[in-house]
Structure 1
Amino acid sequence: MIEARSSHPSPGFESIRRYRNAAGQQIVKLLPGDYYVTRQDEILDTVLGSCVSACIRNPRLGIGGMNHFMLPRPSGSGNDTWDNVAGRATRYGSASMEQLINRILSVGGRRADLEVKIFGGGRVLSSLTDVGTHNVAFVRDYLCQEGLRVTSEDVGSTSPRHVQYFPLSGRARVRHLNSRHGVGVASKEQRYLHGLEKAPVAGEIDLF
């Protein structure tokens, strides 16, 4: 892997890590809480445990992107059940989806033109609350309510996933990782969740 940073990030995404691999391909690395939209020939790359990524593009206009989000999980205290945190959870998920969709629609086109694929939502450690199932249910319901059809998905199961998305062609490459990766992915997601549950929730974002 070559760590040289690309010199032409898409406007507004300068903080996202980007580099060229040994084959000269431009890789965009998404972490939890990120989203990215491009019209360039780039590979959007992420690793998912219980998190979910939606990959959305407008094939007619040649623009597409990916997000990577995780909803809060119950802390285990008697007063902090999934139902109690669901408001914070769905608002965060909605913000991630809306930012991705809005950015793609901002260049024009119709919502009916959008092609959607979803990935992730695994239960990577049996000892953890099954956040992945809630994430998958959320994103399916969200897309249904917004009138967007899922054309392909790889969700659930017990293994983490390495996902690469090619927004210009719409192709996605998914590799299921073995159990030893699951421990590391779950640990990183737990740290992210603790910060997410304490952070204030941003206001609602209007859709085009």
Structure 2
Amino acid sequence: MQSFKMDNNHLAPNRYYDRHFDLEAVKILPGEYFATRDNTLIVTVLGSCVSVCLRDAKLKIGGMNHFLLPNDSSANSDMLGDSARYGGYAMEILINHIIKLGGRRANLEAKIFGGGSVLPDITVIQVGQRNTAFVRAYLKTEDIPILAFDVLDNYPRKVYFFPTTGKVLVRKIKSIHNTTIMDRESAYRLRMRNTPQIGDVELFGD
């Protein structure tokens, strides 16, 4: 594998102050992630994408990603194929950053969200299911326990993650008044098609 150099290319830049929770907050969009050791709220809105909330429970360092496996024309895509490699990158870049902040891989625990069928497109529905299946398989292989999950079904979700406590709040969006969620995910899929294939990533040790 080629080594991975930590950078900020996918760190969420959308910072704001959340008056409801009285906390500094970061909003992550498709293709982004954020990790912190501070008392910072991490927020995202999910359609068919998946987010994994990862946390070193002992050191109270955590983060969240937001990703979508690229569409695959094969109904039986190989978990080691290009799509899974993209998902692996999304997971490993988050793990690497938590470790860079002082966390230990052996302490990690996960909560997973998203993968809903929110667009009238069978391919997108399959992608949501594949996103969820990939995350479960990845975490099982890497021996990272899943403490909670809220996945699949047919609605978007807004997720609030509190890394210092590990608490996650999920608001199910049953009524969509605009196309913002769909537009963001569609733009994200288009961006992935126009981006060169992501290389392997070497996972940092403890």
RMSD: 2.3
Amino acid at match of 2:84: T
Q: Residues of 2 paired with 1:37 and 1:92: CA distance?
A: 19
TM-score by length of 2: 0.85
**What code does the residue aligned with 2:135 have?**
V
Normalised to the residue count of structure 1, the TM-score between the two structures is 0.84
Residue 107 of structure 2: aligned partner: 113
Is the CA contact (8 Å cut-off) linking 1:160 and 1:181 kept in structure 2? no
Q: How far apart are the structure 2 equivalents of 1:85 and 1:42?
A: 37
Match of 1:166 in 2: 162
| Percentage of pairs with the same residue | 43
2:62 corresponds in structure 1 to 64
Within a 5 Å distance, the mapping from 1:26-45 to structure 2 comes to: 26-45=24-43
Deviation at 1:195, TM superposition (A): 1.6
Q: CA separation of 1:38/1:83 partners in 2, compared to 1, >3 Å: closer, same or farther?
A: same
Mapping for residues 1-208 of structure 1, pairs under 5 Å: 12=8, 16-23=13-20, 24-74=22-72, 80-82=73-75, 87-129=81-123, 130=125, 131-180=127-176, 183-207=179-203, 208=205
SS in 2 for 1:180: coil
* C-alpha distance in structure 1 between counterparts of 2:26 and 2:91, whole Å: 18
Task: For 1:21 and 1:105, locate their aligned partners in 2 and report how far apart those are by CA, in whole Å.
Answer: 27
Shift of 1:142: 0.6
Contact 1:161–1:175 (8 Å) recurs in 2? yes
- List runs of 5+ in structure 1 lacking aligned partners: 1-10, 75-79
1:142 aligned counterpart, secondary structure: helix
Question: Using the alignment, how far apart are the partners of 1:15 and 1:146 within structure 2?
Answer: 25
User: Which amino acid in 1 is paired with 2:49?
Assistant: C
Partner-residue secondary structure (3-state), 2:176: helix
Q: CA deviation at 1:110?
A: 3.6
